[in-house]
């Protein structure tokens, strides 16, 4: 194995693969070139060190003589009446809900002395089981965002709620009496009570028309499902039960559907460490996605060819006898007969062996496999994939328990077009944006912003400024979700409740309350309204023995209530709806996708999310056009070249990113960037792709026949990949064996389970090992389950007060995140094999950093932690230089002050900081602390309760956030901890073991299910 | 030549040496005074509360008011509602109680002056110590004897290490005290 890995040429970027001298040179240096440029001694002040010391001494002496005996120590101000549940110094948790784009996540909000500091998953949530996506972790920053709207305004002049509400009520009454349309724009309404308020609003103002918008929607999937089965419930998929998963341009692990649920269930099927079972994931895709990155076998296919692919796959399956022709209707048979796998292989250039393997695996694992089509694919592809799943008996993997409710539909292009026409004709009296941003979310070519300029009364209800509020006359600020009441119903039979955890920070209101105050003349308390609705809708139907008050408070405490389920009608698949679908392969294919960190752009004004590196390309703060190496050569473009992409007469400019594994002549672009008037962080970050979208079809995300021209301009992307390079040059001199990534295949593992442990030498030390009399903290990361999704980074940022540094600093390699996910490629740029590995401080027993610190700022604790005393650190950076893993981060600036003119350093944003973790200042080194604050909390509890610490009791932030439970943390001195079990497992290894630094982070080698002994 | 050398010694060297010696003495003296560590700090409080009366004469347990001491890091200065448990009835006419009632009724928190403070980078936890059976008096002095509270001990690292070096000397009854000592010894060894 080790020899194989040694010869396997692992590379981290295209440039490295081509042995670009610049990259090879860069790898020899500790920091990327330019990192220390600001510190040219010639540019520093001429004020000499001696003079400085003299002044310092003089002023100290002066201060010493001037001050009094006792320094003032300030005051302690206790509560007047301390709330029973609040104990200063201890966190209090409240259950609530985060909802976005038709999905909801049960959360627990951690508050300290009444101020929310962290959002965690609610373990009682039966769907998400205590896990939440990165944008929910980071959403705490939105509450303390200095860009939030703070008071109601009329024509950008500050006003009061009374005046605004009166003016709007009279405008609405006027519109109503004139019978002119009042247009209400909203996103998916998932709250039954909000829907009820809207119904009341419609009753009061009959001319109201509601438009629902959703950028990057899953309309193709939903409408296909409705056509196939005529059901209003979309089942989730039992990924854990599937032996074979075939993802067709689908990134179900990255950005489609409820990714948290998908990842957790998928990982259950990949738990080779304990179950010895491994599902097999095929990915057939054009863009390199997180799912493709994790697949066992990946095929590159232009997304336009997906329909032909599924047809020829069906043909092959029929030949293999997976289903008979008698099960099919004539139109389906004729479609299938037209395509064969051999012809398809010839046309697409894919290896026929691999294609046949997919068919064979599917035929052999009937009712234990699943095909899943991506959101971007046409409805007709979805319909055919549904049919195939039916024929193969895979519908047994559909999980109807708490399926997705898919009642609400987005507005059709015709509706929106007629709205624009009505605007232009002056037939619209008022436009109300109910927490929606239609100007950004709808295709630019619809001409909405021009049309809205003809409407006089535009009312925007929004939490933060955006493109639409900028055009509005009345801007009404809304509560953040942590300040508001609510209920959400996104899954069948489940209702999640949302409660405020802090009183409003600004002069804001709840959106439902505003609507209700327009309906009734006197103000309505939405809390009471919600309770009443809950009483009639839930309490009265649930036949609880408790009285209402108890029931309500219990439900609020749990955050989640099971309700009566909508019944599901089992309808048979009507094969006549399968239609042919032709595409042309002229020109380039453009694939437009959602982005990983902040989805459709609503949360773009969040520095933590902007700085989260893209899980595949590691680019932060930008979107880009991902192209294949060969396509780039054909177009004569290199990385960072600005290219112009034109489709159907629309064009946008984007920087190039050469992405290994892209299908040729395919360009993948992400949405959500290029915001305008949306706050300091989001403004002008990246490029607006919505200009490319089709106003005639809101769910078209694949565009054929595109042309690409090189503009000659250059736009620098900032990526976290090239720097922090592990010193691989060194390896070449030592038999090219470094074993940072160790992998094997299922066959190999079955044949010889301890294949990793062969050719291992015992490493011994000449010094005595450290003694750890009590606990010894350690971590294990199962690379079979780690998907590289980066949610750990987001949780770590919030827990440990990691600052946002900005694009210019990321480009210099100064990002401060304590975890980075290293992504390695092996193989060729066309067919790369991707490995992801979270890299954080390894808390080595023989830590090289500790020996070189001149001031003992970094030292070893008796429980095995490599700890930092920030106050001692003088910033020599010797430790970083000596760290073989390159996980130490240096504060080149006080980054809070440095980022965007102190945007995140103000009284308000300071509240986001975790009070248990020191806020680091300029000139000190920092790194992962294994969440020592959590260890200390557990230790405190154990001492108080006079019991030993449970070896699995401490949870680090990354561990609690990991959707797949890849990370375990605990006491490695205790035989009963998961960490000890993982450390002793045959697949365990340490990175750079031969240095004998004895790291305390154990990795479990990834096993690939590739059907052969080679990777 | 000689004269000038003597001159130089007397006029320049001697005064400088004397000045440096004096300055060193002054600084050392100044810095090493117990007041520098806060010992004896006795600020005026917004309400003249007497620990001698409440804890000494009436023998009210410390934890009746300092409710957090066994539960968490902070001992907690009591919120006004704890005072009002008794003083809504007791001694209502006393001038200090009138002040207290006014704070309570106006819903204004009482700005007590802080007496005991450790540096912000040190994480001290009350509950861990108190639950191990360490008496409040060990660090805070005999509060029950104080009309007006003042700091009795220095709050430097030495104060912590005085106990933590040899914990079994102070807490012989603790089971795992040896473990604590081992741990501390490890830390000291590494220095």
- CA gap A594, A376 in Å, rounded: 10
- Residues in A closer than 8 angstroms to B31, CB to CB, are 64
Q: Tell me the average pLDDT of chain B.
A: 85
As a whole number of Å, the end-to-end CA separation of chain B is: 54
- Residues in A closer than 8 angstroms to B81, CB to CB, are 79-82
What pLDDT is stored for residue B46 in this prediction?
92
Whether pLDDT at A718 is above 50: yes
Which runs of E-coded beta strand occur in A767-831? 777-782, 820-827
Contact B112 A76 (CB under 8 A): yes
- Check CB contact of A89 with chain B, cutoff 8 Å: yes
* CB-nearest partner of A79 from B33, B40, B79: B79
- Residues in B closer than 8 angstroms to A82, CB to CB, are 79, 81
In a domain, B137, yes or no: no
What pLDDT is stored for residue A41 in this prediction?
64
Confidence grade of residue A947 (pLDDT, cut at 50, 70, 90): confident
The larger pLDDT score, comparing residue A905 to residue B33, is at A905
Contact B41 A70 (CB under 8 A): yes
* CB-nearest partner of B132 from A70, A936, A943: A943
The contacts of residue A888 (CB under 8 Å, 6+ apart) are A841, A849, A877, A879, A880, A925, A926, A927
Contact A78 B117 (CB under 8 A): no
Torsion, Cα of B71, B74, B75, B80 (10° steps): -110
Whether pLDDT at A1011 is above 60: yes
Distances (CA, A) of A353 to A300, A341, A356, A438: 14, 10, 5, 47
Task: Name the residue among A142, A435, A74 with its Cα closest to residue B77.
Answer: A74
pLDDT digit string, tens, across residues A518-576: 888 778 899 999 999 999 988 888 888 889 999 999 999 999 998 888 888 777 788 88
DSSP state of B11: I
- Residues in A closer than 8 angstroms to B77, CB to CB, are 76, 78
Contact A64 B73 (CB under 8 A): no
pLDDT digit string, tens, across residues A756-796: 887 777 788 887 888 888 889 999 999 999 999 999 999 99
Please report where in the chains the tokens 């007497």 appear, as a residue.
Answer: B50
What's the 3-state SS for A216-232? Answer: CCCHHHHHHHHHHHCCC
Whether pLDDT at A14 is above 80: no
In a domain, B169, yes or no: yes
Helices (H), B66-140: 80-87, 95-105, 126-130, 136-140
Measured in angstroms, the CA of B151 and the nearest CA of chain A are apart by: 11
- Residues in B closer than 8 angstroms to A856, CB to CB, are 191
Q: Are A954 and A779 in contact (CB under 8 A)?
A: no
3-state secondary structure of A78: coil
- Check CB contact of A947 with chain B, cutoff 8 Å: no
Contact B114 A74 (CB under 8 A): yes
Contact A936 B123 (CB under 8 A): yes
Q: Are A853 and A823 in contact (CB under 8 A)?
A: no
- CA gap B41, B151 in Å, rounded: 5
Measured in angstroms, the CA of B1 and the nearest CA of chain A are apart by: 34
Contact B68 A88 (CB under 8 A): yes
What pLDDT is stored for residue A550 in this prediction?
92
Q: Tell me the average pLDDT of chain A.
A: 88
Residues facing residue A599 across a β-bridge: A595
ipTM of the complex: 0.83
* CB-nearest partner of A89 from B72, B110, B186: B72
Q: Which residue of B has its CA nearest to A774?
A: B179
The CB density around residue B173, as the number of other CB atoms within 10 Å, is: 8
pLDDT digit string, tens, across residues A53-100: 888 888 877 766 555 667 788 899 999 998 888 888 889 999 999 998
- CA gap A368, A363 in Å, rounded: 10
What number is the average pLDDT over the span A971-992? 91
What pLDDT is stored for residue A38 in this prediction?
62
Q: Is the dihedral of CA A563, A566, A567, A571 positive or negative?
A: negative
3-state secondary structure of B60: coil
Measured in angstroms, the CA of A70 and the nearest CA of chain B are apart by: 6
The contacts of residue A277 (CB under 8 Å, 6+ apart) are A269, A271
What number is the average pLDDT over the span A498-519? 92
Helix (H) or strand (E) holding A495: strand A494-498
Query: Which domains occur in chain A, in start order?
Result: 2-33+723-761+774-1008 (3.30.70.20), 153-217+410-562 (3.40.50.740), 219-405 (3.40.228.10), 588-719 (2.40.40.20)
Which runs of E-coded beta strand occur in A742-886? 743-745, 777-782, 820-827, 832-839, 858-860, 866-868
Q: Is the dihedral of CA A146, A148, A154, A158 positive or negative?
A: negative
In a domain, B129, yes or no: no
- CA gap B184, A862 in Å, rounded: 8
In a domain, B23, yes or no: yes
- CA gap A145, A681 in Å, rounded: 10
**Chain mean position to CA A177:** 47
What number is the average pLDDT over the span B11-39? 86
What pLDDT is stored for residue A30 in this prediction?
65
Q: Are A1000 and A1010 in contact (CB under 8 A)?
A: no
Instruction: Work out how many CB contacts closer than 8 A connect A with B.
Output: 109
Measured in angstroms, the CA of A947 and the nearest CA of chain B are apart by: 11
What number is the average pLDDT over the span A276-288? 91
What number is the average pLDDT over the span A607-624? 92
Domain count, chain B: 2
Whether pLDDT at A389 is above 60: yes
Q: Are B132 and B171 in contact (CB under 8 A)?
A: yes
pLDDT digit string, tens, across residues A297-312: 999 999 999 999 999 9
Contact A73 B182 (CB under 8 A): no
Helix (H) or strand (E) holding A91: strand A91-100
- Residues in B closer than 8 angstroms to A771, CB to CB, are 186
Q: Which residue of A has its CA nearest to B127?
A: A944
Range 862-881 of A in CB contact (< 8 A) with B: 862, 869-871
Task: Name the residue among A902, A932, A916, A896 with its Cα closest to residue A802.
Answer: A896
Whether pLDDT at B100 is above 70: yes
pLDDT digit string, tens, across residues A724-752: 344 445 433 333 356 788 888 888 888 88
- CA gap A817, A928 in Å, rounded: 9
What number is the average pLDDT over the span B40-54? 91
Which runs of E-coded beta strand occur in A101-249? 103-112, 115-121, 153-154, 157-158, 181-186, 208-212, 233-237, 244-248
Helix (H) or strand (E) holding A635: helix A629-635
Contact B35 A73 (CB under 8 A): no
Contact A75 B35 (CB under 8 A): no
Task: Name the residue among A486, A473, A595 with its Cα closest to residue A531.
Answer: A486
- Residues in A closer than 8 angstroms to B72, CB to CB, are 87-90, 940
What pLDDT is stored for residue A723 in this prediction?
45
Task: Name the residue among A251, A142, A13, A83 with its Cα closest to residue A826.
Answer: A13
Best to test chain B binding among A62, A64, A82, A869 (most B CBs inside 10 Å): A82
In a domain, B6, yes or no: yes
Q: Are A962 and A819 in contact (CB under 8 A)?
A: no
Measured in angstroms, the CA of A36 and the nearest CA of chain B are apart by: 29
In a domain, B11, yes or no: yes
In a domain, B146, yes or no: no
Helix (H) or strand (E) holding A193: helix A192-204
β-pairing, A718-719 with A889-890?
unpaired
Contact B30 A64 (CB under 8 A): yes
The contacts of residue A793 (CB under 8 Å, 6+ apart) are A134, A612, A613, A817, A819, A820, A821, A958
Share of chain A above pLDDT 70, in %: 95
Whether pLDDT at A36 is above 80: no
Distances (CA, A) of A5 to A13, A492, A734, A864: 18, 48, 13, 31
Whether pLDDT at A682 is above 50: yes
The larger pLDDT score, comparing residue A151 to residue B170, is at A151
Task: Name the residue among A498, A448, A453, A504 with its Cα closest to residue A478.
Answer: A504
Share of chain B above pLDDT 90, in %: 36
What number is the average pLDDT over the span B110-130? 88
In a domain, B5, yes or no: yes
Measured in angstroms, the CA of A950 and the nearest CA of chain B are apart by: 16
Q: Which residue of A has its CA nearest to B113?
A: A75
What pLDDT is stored for residue A4 in this prediction?
42
Measured in angstroms, the CA of B75 and the nearest CA of chain A are apart by: 9
Contact B109 A79 (CB under 8 A): yes
- CA gap A434, A424 in Å, rounded: 22
- Residues in A closer than 8 angstroms to B128, CB to CB, are 939-940, 943-944
Helices (H), A375-431: 379-391, 413-424
Does this model's pTM top 0.90? My answer is: no
Q: What is the DSSP string of A507-567?
A: S-B-HHHHHHHHHSSS---HHHHHHHHHIIIIIHHHT-SS-HHHHHHHHHHHSEEE-PPPP
Q: Which residue of B has its CA nearest to A939?
A: B128
Whether pLDDT at A1 is above 50: no
What pLDDT is stored for residue A760 in this prediction?
74
- Residues in B closer than 8 angstroms to A75, CB to CB, are 111-114
pLDDT digit string, tens, across residues A420-478: 999 888 888 899 999 999 999 899 888 888 898 888 889 999 999 999 999 999 999 99
The contacts of residue B55 (CB under 8 Å, 6+ apart) are B62, B143, B144
pLDDT digit string, tens, across residues A169-188: 998 988 888 888 899 999 98
- Check CB contact of A90 with chain B, cutoff 8 Å: yes
Measured in angstroms, the CA of A710 and the nearest CA of chain B are apart by: 55
* CB-nearest partner of B74 from A71, A77, A88: A88
- CA gap A863, A776 in Å, rounded: 5
Q: Are A669 and A591 in contact (CB under 8 A)?
A: yes
Distances (CA, A) of A276 to A53, A237, A418, A475: 66, 22, 58, 58
Contact A75 B186 (CB under 8 A): no
Measured in angstroms, the CA of B82 and the nearest CA of chain A are apart by: 8
3-state secondary structure of B178: helix
Measured in angstroms, the CA of B32 and the nearest CA of chain A are apart by: 12
The contacts of residue A933 (CB under 8 Å, 6+ apart) are A914, A916, A917
* The two structure tokens encoding residue A644: 């112009």
Best to test chain B binding among A76, A77, A866, A921 (most B CBs inside 10 Å): A76
* The two structure tokens encoding residue A489: 């119903």
What pLDDT is stored for residue A97 in this prediction?
94
| Angle at CA of residue B188, ends B182 and B191, nearest 5° | 145
Whether pLDDT at A400 is above 70: yes
- Check CB contact of A936 with chain B, cutoff 8 Å: yes
Residue B162: give the domain boundaries.
156-191
Q: Are A239 and A269 in contact (CB under 8 A)?
A: yes
What pLDDT is stored for residue A5 in this prediction?
45
């Amino acid at each position: 194995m080790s020899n194989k890995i040694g010869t396997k040429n692992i590379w981290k970027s295209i440039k490295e693969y081509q042995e670009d001298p610049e990259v090879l040179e860069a790898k020899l240096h500790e920091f990327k070139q330019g990192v220390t440029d600001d510190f040219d001694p010639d540019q520093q002040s001429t004020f000499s060190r001696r003079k400085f010391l003299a002044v310092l001494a003089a002023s100290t002496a002066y201060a010493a003589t001037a001050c009094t005996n006792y320094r003032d120590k300030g005051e302690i101000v206790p509560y007047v009446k301390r709330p029973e549940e609040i104990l200063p110094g201890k966190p209090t948790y409240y259950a609530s809900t985060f909802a976005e784009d038709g999905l909801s996540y049960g959360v627990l909000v951690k508050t300290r002395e009444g101020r929310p500091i962290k959002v965690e998953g609610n373990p009682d949530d039966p769907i998400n089981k205590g896990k939440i996506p990165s944008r929910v972790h980071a959403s705490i920053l939105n509450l303390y965002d200095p860009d939030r709207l703070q008071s109601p305004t009329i024509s950008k002049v500050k006003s009061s709620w009374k005046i605004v509400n009166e003016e709007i009520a009279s405008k609405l009454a006027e519109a109503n009496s004139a019978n002119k349309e009042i247009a209400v724009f909203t996103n998916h309404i998932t709250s039954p009570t909000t829907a009820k308020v809207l119904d009341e609003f419609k009753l009061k103002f009959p001319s109201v028309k509601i438009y629902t918008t959703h950028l990057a929607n899953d309309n193709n999937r939903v409408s296909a499902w409705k056509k196939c089965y005529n059901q209003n419930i979309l089942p989730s998929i039992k990924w854990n039960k599937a032996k074979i998963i075939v993802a067709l341009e689908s990134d179900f692990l990255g950005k489609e559907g409820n990714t948290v649920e998908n990842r957790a269930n998928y990982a259950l099927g990949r738990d080779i460490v304990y179950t010895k079972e491994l599902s097999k994931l095929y990915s057939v895709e054009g863009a390199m996605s997180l799912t493709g990155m994790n697949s066992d076998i990946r095929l590159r296919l232009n997304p336009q060819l997906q329909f032909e692919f599924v047809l020829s796959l069906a043909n092959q399956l029929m030949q293999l006898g997976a289903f008979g022709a008698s099960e099919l209707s004539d139109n389906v048979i004729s479609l299938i007969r037209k395509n064969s796998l051999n012809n398809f292989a010839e046309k697409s250039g894919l290896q026929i062996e691999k294609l046949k393997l997919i068919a064979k695996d599917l035929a052999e694992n009937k009712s234990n496999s699943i095909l899943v089509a991506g959101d971007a694919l046409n409805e007709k592809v979805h319909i055919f994939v549904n049919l195939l799943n039916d024929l193969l008996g895979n519908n047994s993997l559909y999980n109807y328990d708490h399926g997705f409710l898919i009642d609400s539909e987005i507005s059709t292009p015709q509706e929106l077009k007629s709205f624009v026409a009505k605007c232009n004709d002056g037939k619209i009296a008022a436009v109300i944006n109910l927490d929606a941003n239609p100007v950004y979310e709808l295709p630019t070519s619809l001409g909405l912003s021009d049309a809205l300029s003809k409407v006089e009364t535009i009312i925007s209800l929004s939490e933060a400024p955006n493109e639409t509020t900028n055009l509005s006359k009345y801007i009404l600020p809304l509560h953040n979700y942590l300040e508001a009441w609510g209920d959400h119903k996104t899954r069948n039979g489940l209702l999640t409740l949302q409660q405020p955890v802090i009183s409003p920070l600004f002069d804001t209101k709840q959106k439902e309350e505003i609507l209700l105050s327009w309906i009734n003349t006197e103000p309505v308390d939405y809390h009471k309204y919600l309770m009443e609705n809950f009483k009639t809708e839930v309490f009265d139907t649930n036949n609880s023995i408790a009285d209402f008050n108890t029931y309500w408070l219990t439900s609020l405490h749990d955050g989640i209530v099971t309700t009566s389920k909508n019944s599901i009608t089992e309808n048979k698949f009507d094969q006549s709806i399968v239609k042919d679908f032709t595409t042309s392969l002229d020109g380039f294919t453009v694939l437009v996708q959602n982005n990983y960190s902040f989805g459709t752009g609503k949360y773009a004004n969040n520095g933590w999310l902007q700085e989260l590196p893209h899980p595949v390309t590691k680019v932060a703060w930008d979107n880009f056009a991902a192209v294949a190496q060969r396509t780039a050569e054909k177009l004569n473009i290199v990385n960072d070249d600005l290219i112009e992409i034109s489709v159907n007469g629309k064009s946008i400019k984007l920087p190039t990113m050469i992405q290994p594994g892209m299908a040729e002549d395919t360009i993948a672009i992400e949405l959500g960037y290029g915001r305008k008037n949306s706050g300091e962080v989001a403004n002008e970050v990246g490029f607006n792709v919505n200009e490319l979208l089709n106003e005639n079809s809101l769910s078209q995300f694949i565009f054929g026949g595109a042309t690409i021209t090189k503009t000659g301009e250059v736009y620098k992307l900032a990526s976290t990949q090239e720097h922090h390079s592990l010193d691989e040059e060194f390896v070449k001199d030592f038999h090219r064996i470094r074993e940072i990534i160790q992998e094997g295949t299922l066959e190999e593992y079955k044949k010889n389970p301890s294949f990793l442990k062969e050719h291992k030498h015992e490493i011994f030390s000449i010094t005595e090992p450290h003694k750890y009399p009590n606990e010894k903290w350690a971590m294990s990361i199962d690379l079979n389950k780690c998907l590289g999704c980066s949610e750990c980074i987001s949780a770590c940022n919030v827990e440990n007060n990691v600052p946002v540094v900005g694009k210019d600093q990321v480009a210099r390699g100064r990002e401060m995140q304590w975890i980075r996910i290293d992504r390695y490629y092996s193989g060729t740029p066309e067919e790369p094999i991707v490995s992801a590995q979270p890299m954080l401080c390894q808390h080595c027993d023989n830590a090289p950093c500790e020996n070189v610190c001149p001031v003992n700022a970094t030292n070893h604790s008796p429980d095995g932690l490599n700890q930092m005393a920030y106050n001692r650190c003088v910033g020599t950076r010797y430790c970083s230089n000596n760290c073989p893993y390159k996980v130490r981060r240096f504060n080149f600036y006080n980054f809070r002050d440095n980022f965007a003119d102190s945007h995140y350093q103000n009284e308000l944003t300071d509240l986001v900081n975790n009070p248990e973790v020191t806020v680091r200042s300029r000139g000190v080194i920092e790194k992962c602390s294994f969440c020592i604050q959590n260890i200390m909390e557990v230790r405190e509890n154990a001492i108080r309760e006079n019991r030993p610490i449970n070896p699995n009791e401490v949870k680090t932030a990354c561990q609690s956030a990991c959707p797949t439970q890849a990370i375990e943390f605990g006491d490695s001195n205790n035989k009963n901890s998961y960490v000890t079990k993982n450390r002793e497992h045959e697949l365990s290894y340490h990175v750079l073991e031969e240095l004998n630094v004895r790291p305390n982070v154990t990795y479990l080698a990834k096993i690939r299910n590739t059907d052969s002994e080679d990777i | 030549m000689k004269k000038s050398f003597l001159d130089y010694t007397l006029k320049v060297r001697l005064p400088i040496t004397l000045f440096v010696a004096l300055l060193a003495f002054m600084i050392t003296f100044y810095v090493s005074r117990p007041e520098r560590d806060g010992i004896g700090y006795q600020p005026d409080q917004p309400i003249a509360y007497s620990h001698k009366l409440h804890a000494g004469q009436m023998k009210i347990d410390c934890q009746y008011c300092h409710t957090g001491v066994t539960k968490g890091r902070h001992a907690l200065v009591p919120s006004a509602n704890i005072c009002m448990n008794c003083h809504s009835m007791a001694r209502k006419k006393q001038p200090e109680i009138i002040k207290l009632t006014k704070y309570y009724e106006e819903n204004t928190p009482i700005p007590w002056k802080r007496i005991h403070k450790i540096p912000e980078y040190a994480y001290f936890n009350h509950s861990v110590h108190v639950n191990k059976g360490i008496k409040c008096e060990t660090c805070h002095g005999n509060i029950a004897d104080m009309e007006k509270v003042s700091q009795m001990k220095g709050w430097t690292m030495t104060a912590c290490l005085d106990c933590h070096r040899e914990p079994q000397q102070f807490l012989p009854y603790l089971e795992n005290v040896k473990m604590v000592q081992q741990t501390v010894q490890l830390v000291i060894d590494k220095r």
